[in-house]
Structure 1
Amino acid sequence: MRTLAELDQAVTECRACPRLVAWREETARVKRAAFRDQDYWARPVPGFGPADAALAIVGLAPAAHGANRTGRMFTGDRSGDVLYAALHAVGLASQPTATHIGDGLELYGTRITAPVKCAPPENKPTPEERDNCRPWLERELALLRPTLRAVVVLGAFGWQALLPILATAWSVPRPRPRFGHGVRHDLPALDGGPPLAVHGCYHVSQRNTSTGLLTLDMVCDVLAAAATPLGIRR
Structure 2
Amino acid sequence: MDPLAELDTRIAGCTACPRLVAWREEVGRVKRAAYRDWTYWARPVPGFGPADASLLVIGLAPAAHGGNRTGRMFTGDRSGDVLYGALYEVGLASGPVSVSVDDGLTLRGVRVTSPVHCAPPENKPTPGERDTCRPWLVRELELLGPRLRAAVVLGAFGWQAALPAFAAAGWRLPRPRPAFAHGARVTLERAAPPTEAAGGSGPGPVTLYGCFHVSQRNTFTGRLTPDMLKDVLRAAAGEAGIPPYDARAAA
Give the TM-score normalised by the residue count of structure 1: 0.98
**What residue in structure 1 maps to residue 41 of structure 2?**
41
**CA shift at 1:102, angstroms?**
1.2
Q: Please, which of 208, 216, 219 is the counterpart of residue 226 of structure 2? A: 216
**CA shift at 1:194, angstroms?**
2.3
1:73–1:113 Cα contact (<8 Å) kept: yes
**What residue in structure 2 maps to residue 102 of structure 1?**
102
What percent of counterpart residues are identical?
67
- Trace 1:60-99 onto structure 2 (pairs within 5 A): 60-99=60-99
d(CA) in 1 for partners of 2:53 and 2:139? 15
d(CA) in 2 for partners of 1:47 and 1:232? 23
**CA shift at 1:174, angstroms?**
1.7
1:11-37 deviations in Å (ceiling 9; x for gaps): 000000000000001001111110011
**Consecutive unaligned residues in structure 2, runs of 5 or more:** 194-202, 246-251
d(CA) in 1 for partners of 2:243 and 2:116? 27
1:29-57 deviations in Å (ceiling 9; x for gaps): 11111001111000000000000100000
Q: Please, which of 204, 209, 231 is the counterpart of residue 242 of structure 2? A: 231
1:113-156 deviations in Å (ceiling 9; x for gaps): 00000000000000110011011001010000110000000000
d(CA) in 2 for partners of 1:166 and 1:96? 30
Q: Which amino acid aligns with 1:39?
A: T
**CA shift at 1:231, angstroms?**
2.4
**What residue in structure 2 maps to residue 174 of structure 1?**
175
1:170–1:188 Cα contact (<8 Å) kept: yes
1:115–1:137 Cα contact (<8 Å) kept: yes
**CA shift at 1:2, angstroms?**
6.8
**What residue in structure 1 maps to residue 206 of structure 2?**
196
d(CA) in 2 for partners of 1:207 and 1:170? 33
1:12–1:44 Cα contact (<8 Å) kept: yes
Computed over aligned residues only, the root mean square deviation of the Cα atoms, in angstroms, reads 1.1
**CA shift at 1:165, angstroms?**
1.3
1:14–1:44 Cα contact (<8 Å) kept: yes
Is 1:30 the equivalent of 2:41?
Answer: no
Greater gyration radius: 2
Shift in CA distance, 157/122, structure 1 to aligned 2, threshold 3 Å: same
**What residue in structure 1 maps to residue 249 of structure 2?**
none
2:109–2:242 Cα contact (<8 Å) kept: no
**CA shift at 1:233, angstroms?**
3.6
SS in structure 2 of the partner of residue 56 of structure 1: strand
**What residue in structure 2 maps to residue 154 of structure 1?**
154
d(CA) in 2 for partners of 1:38 and 1:77? 14
1:60–1:115 Cα contact (<8 Å) kept: yes
Q: Which amino acid aligns with 1:188?
A: E
1:74-104 deviations in Å (ceiling 9; x for gaps): 0000000000000000010000000001101
1:92–1:232 Cα contact (<8 Å) kept: no
**Consecutive unaligned residues in structure 1, runs of 5 or more:** none
Question: How many residue pairs were aligned?
Answer: 234
**CA shift at 1:157, angstroms?**
0.3
d(CA) in 1 for partners of 2:52 and 2:31? 36
2:95–2:105 Cα contact (<8 Å) kept: yes
2:153–2:208 Cα contact (<8 Å) kept: yes
SS in structure 1 of the partner of residue 79 of structure 2: helix
1:108–1:232 Cα contact (<8 Å) kept: no
d(CA) in 2 for partners of 1:196 and 1:18? 34
**What residue in structure 2 maps to residue 11 of structure 1?**
11
**CA shift at 1:195, angstroms?**
1.1
Give the ranges of 4+ consecutive aligned residues of structure 1 lying more than 4 Å apart after TM superposition. none
Q: Please, which of 189, 207, 217 is the counterpart of residue 217 of structure 2? A: 207
**CA shift at 1:167, angstroms?**
1.5
d(CA) in 1 for partners of 2:2 and 2:157? 28
d(CA) in 2 for partners of 1:108 and 1:43? 26
